[in-house]
Amino acid sequence: MRVSVLLGWCVLLGIKMSAIAQAGDCTPTITAEDATIIIPADAGLEVDGMPLPNGSIIQVLFDNGGVLECGGATVWEGNSTFITIYGDDGDNPGFQEGEPYHFRLILPSGCATTTVDAAFLSGGIFDNAGFYTTDGLSGLASLAGTTGFSIDLLSALPDTCSAGVGSVIVTVANGAYPVQYQWAGMGQDSIAAGLFAGDVTMVTATDANGCSAAASFEVEGIEVFPTVELGDDFFLCEGATATLSGNMGGASYTWYYEGFLIPGAVGPSLAIDTSGLFSLEVANSAGCRARDSVFVALRPLPAVNLGIDTAICLNESLVLDATCSGCTYQWNTGADSPMVTVSEAGLYSVSVTNTWACMAESSLQLGILELPEVALGPDDTFCTGEEILLEAEDVLGYSYLWSTGETSSAIVVTGPGGYSLSVTDSNACTASDTILLTFIPSVEAAIDAASTFICLGDSLQLRAQGGAAFQWINGAVFISDVNAPVVYVRPDTTTLFAVAVSNECFSDTAVFELTVVELKATAGQDTCIAKGTTAMLNATGGASYEWELSEYPLSDYHIPNPGTEPLDSAYYVVTITGPYGCSLRDSVLVAVASGDPRAHIQPVNILTPNGDGKNDVLKFAGLEKYSKNKLSVFNRWGNIVFTQLHYDNNWDGTYKGRRLPEGVYYYVLQINDVEIKSALTIIYE
């Protein structure tokens, strides 16, 4: 209980005045702490020559238990103002009834010293216990005494639970009875009741002598309300429970739902599983009560249902769908998508959380069904015309579907291609297999060639067709590889060629007749003419003739018998073409009688290097007389197949150690500045 006491005009200076505050304009005011002096109207108190109005309040500051030692002074905070108290007696200042007393201010801030006079009024009792000294400026004394009349607090009862049960009981000291009390707005005895915490009430007491005193009291409150806090409103997911707790150390608990008492709910906590307004009232041992409420909203769970446990066929997959708007997902596979595709046996579960953080779970056990067995066997090959049985095990309850559209467990096929079978068991699981059948076709042998005839000495390509394997049948003509589909032949006479064509199932034979055309043509007999005469050439056996340019011109290069007048012996070469396009190249010597070697060396036209010792080498009779010579031999395409300087009649018809093919070749034998040219036919028979 805080108490402020106002001392009335009957109260003498029973406290020590120790400070007078000075404002910035050097106008002093008298202040004090812990007590208030009411200056009556007839006190005549003046400050700096100005009387204080009636009812002015002077605050008096205490220190050292209300005693100021002689010689002491108090510095007013912020103003450095010194104050002394003294009476009228210079040597022995006293504070007698009716004797004036003075306040003297010493103002070190530069303001003039001010003396405040105040008249002492009767009715007070003073105990002059002061000491007197001097500091050369003014006498100092302390004043200790008792008031003549005061109001004391006898007892006080605080308010509790804001119920207005506070009260104050007062008494008076040093007063003459009877004493009259007057409470502001209340009764007229020494007791004030029905007070609330924080109320300030004032009482005035007047004794039998007419002395008055006043006091004010502020009622304290005992805040013993229990504290209850259920927290903020929240939501509850459908199917979930929550516990409301108000365990605040109360003496009793009462729960309410939507304002209605919940029977039997008398504990500090309450388990709930529904929405609505829940309230808790807590009472403590002092009987104080407090209440708090919380609103609980019910939120729906996300709708998720993976369905009943199921099974799928091997190699199939199943899409599990837990989709809901605004939800998040967590599968036991680690996926976080609304849908997952699964193909293995096991338990699949998903936790789905909606936008209210409500979570629902669903699971599904997935089994895997084995597929029916179906095996048509490996791909195979058969002969055309065979009937092939394709079949699968006939199982009761199974259904069959072939790529041909048939629905039996076995079918017969005769054609090539892929055949597929789908087998479905009683669980609707389907397995399939495919077999590729190849049918080997029958063969029809044939021989392809660019022509049905060739010129003697030429070769022709024969190509066998119609099968996979080949066998050429002909003993008269050499064939390097009788099993090759393509061969080259060069018969000397018209020949019948046969080939057997086969595959894994069939065979056939083809025959091809190749006509050999032999061109019996010649450039004519060598001849000798006298210098300055005309020689008539006479090529025969052809359909057309083409003479080559020579040193000495011919009368016509496109007839078989042109004329020429060589100055020296010369060879004339002609290409003769027969009726089937066969041609040969031959030469004829026109010798001009003179002393040159051509008159003594006869050209050689045939070489038979067959090892019989006859005509096995190209030998020119009389060549030994001409050691400075050179022989060059050409094939029909103009390529050199033999050349030798100082030819010694030793060429045996070989090229690089191998026998040259039979045929017509050409040579040039150069002796000095004379060339002897001729065609040369190589024959091995």
Per-residue pLDDT tens digits for 227-236 = 888 999 999 9
Task: Identify the weakest region by mean pLDDT among 154-163, 422-431, 452-461.
Answer: 154-163
Rounded to 5 degrees, what angle do the CA atoms 466, 472, 475 make? 160
Q: Which whole number is the average pLDDT over 654-676?
A: 91
Q: Does residue 350 or residue 172 have the better pLDDT?
A: 350
Which of 64-68, 335-339, 610-614 bottoms out in mean pLDDT, i.e. has the lowest?
64-68
Tell me what percent of the residues of the chain surpass a pLDDT of 90: 50
pLDDT of residue 486: 94
Residue pair 121/100 in contact (Cβ under 8 Å)? The answer is no
Q: What is the mean pLDDT of residues 492-510?
A: 92
- Average pLDDT (402-430) is 96
Q: What architecture is the 446-517 domain classified under in CATH?
A: Sandwich (2.60)
CATH 2.60.40.10 in the chain: give the residue spans.
150-222, 234-299, 310-369, 446-517, 527-682
Rounded percentage of the chain residues whose pLDDT exceeds 70: 73
* Residue 217: per-residue pLDDT: 76
- Give residue for tokens 């209980």: 1
More confidently predicted of 218 and 111: 218
Q: What share of the chain is helix, strand, coil (3-state, %, to 5)?
A: 0, 45, 50
pLDDT in the model for residue 101: 40
| Choice between 527 and 312, residue whose per-residue pLDDT is larger | 312
- Burial label for 347, CB within 10 Å (0-12, 13-18, 19+), is exposed
pLDDT of residue 621: 84
Name, in order, each residue with C-beta under 8 angstroms of 546's C-beta and a sequence gap of 6 or more. 557, 558, 574, 575, 577
More confident residue, 172 or 241: 241
Specify the fold of 234-299.
Answer: Immunoglobulin-like (2.60.40)
Give 527-682's CATH code, choosing from 3.40.1010.10, 3.20.20.70, 1.10.10.60, 2.60.40.10. Answer: 2.60.40.10
The arithmetic mean of pLDDT across residues 311-317, rounded, is 94
- Does 538 or 290 have the greater pLDDT score? 538
With a cut of 70, say whether residue 249 has pLDDT above it. Answer: no
Is the pLDDT confidence value at 524 over 70? yes
State the CB neighbour count (10 A cutoff) for residue 442: 14
Task: Supply the pLDDT for residue 601.
Answer: 82
205-214, 570-579, 621-630: range with highest mean pLDDT: 570-579
* 548: pLDDT strictly greater than 50: yes
Predicted confidence at residue 10, as pLDDT, reads 32
- Regarding predicted confidence, which is higher, 15 or 406? 406
- In terms of CATH architecture, what is 150-222? Sandwich (2.60)
Cβ(391)–Cβ(410) below 8 Å: yes
Least confident range from 199-203, 433-437, 466-470: namely 199-203
Fold of 310-369: Immunoglobulin-like (2.60.40)
This prediction has a pTM of 0.40
- pLDDT the model gives residue 246: 73
pLDDT in tens, 147-194: 346 777 767 767 667 666 677 788 777 667 888 888 887 777 778 777
CA distance 425 to 313: 10
Has residue 500 got a pLDDT over 90?
yes
The reported pLDDT for the residue numbered 462 is 93
Assign 394 a pLDDT band (cuts: 50, 70, 90).
Answer: very high
List of E strands, 623-662: 629-634, 640-645, 654-655, 658-659
CB 498 within 8 A of CB 473: yes
Taking only the tens place, the pLDDT of each residue in 90-129 is 433 333 434 444 444 333 333 333 333 333 333 333 222 2
Report residue 433's pLDDT band, with 50, 70 and 90 as the boundaries: very high
State the pLDDT at residue 170.
81
Q: Give which of 444, 435, 434, 433 is closest to 384, Cα–Cα.
A: 444
Q: Cα–Cα distance between 89 and 100 in angstroms, integer? A: 10
* Displacement of CA 570 from its chain's centroid (Å): 96
Residue 139 pLDDT? 27
- pLDDT for res 95: 38
